[in-house]
Structure 1
């Protein structure tokens, strides 16, 4: 896996890179305290708050609906939210909910600062919007596997991921209709996980990952490993503190140690 290309945000630290298709992630309305939580492998399987639902009225934060007129092309009335905004922190690793062909991957002014569109084998288009970085391995017309790392989440009027699901339909002007996303996000399978065996090449998929001098949470932290750091399994697993631990070595000759296997996956051969 290549390290993601981090986009330059120094020119505008507010995160406003041009027109945006949605309003603030912290909407000034009385529904804020009632927002639900959702868990998905797309952002590592941790609970996150839904800031904006699919189909929700946007008038409370965009009174003239000017940011959402594109929704008319996807079967909405122009004042409805076409996707779902999930309040995950800036820089969260993102994984493909469903594999398919990459139809867009890069910078953008609508889903700024960057986004990825994946066309599934069923013909659906999945939009991952407001990403801070896109994995440099992604290429337009290239393939992405389910659970593959695609980049990191970003910010646009607040840290979050905007996810849309568009299904083929002659009923909508564009040939696609924007529909509910829960079934895709919640149903996304976890990336391949341990157990690993001695000699396996593994990589970090949920950084920062502590490298410890012994198996277990009581082991001293030697280093923090970043996304895509590649390791070789020397021994394990050894169970401790509800984790399976693996002794690993590093290619750069730095001191090896022990890592929790659930935050790694096998390197593609």
Structure 2
């Protein structure tokens, strides 16, 4: 099952490659400045522009949002979803894998976990700076909580994946995509011993996109896709690593 998650992650990532903002998919934006009561300067990719938001935004924070144009050309935001604050550390992380790296790691099945733990311990003990110490410490603490976390960087974009073994026949996951928002799901064995997938998206537009391309997920015999507006990481990264001593 774990190999199928690597292929699923890469397949979904291809859907997030959008050329412009004239689509309905959510975008990841940075709030640069507040310029009026409900007017903000934001950055989306390399584009810096103005937008209106009736919801107060935090300057310096990142959000997922649906972006639309008003009749007078003003950009309007809705369904603002804060980027998980405790995952911002990943954007400058010292270890960034590709989806191909992920496939190679998962090709060993669950046998990779011991090697992954040893690798993280070595990186943690030899961390050259505070950022590396905190990053690898969180990956180890995540593993201690039975959640495996991976930071992925491809096509100049950051992705994030977490896995959690729940029952002998199922594997839960959390994924964060820059133009799809948070996703969660479960890969499981059916009574017929086929592989099924339950997938949840936090945006209606993302859910619709995934449903429209469900036929491309040929790895699974059964696919169910639904909306779940509040999706949280399986393990929350922390600024305090004292739990590593426990």
TM-score (normalised: structure 1): 0.28
In terms of fraction of residues, the more helix-rich structure is 2
Larger Rg, first or second structure (1 or 2): 1
TM-score (normalised: structure 2): 0.30
In terms of fraction of residues, the more strand-rich structure is 1
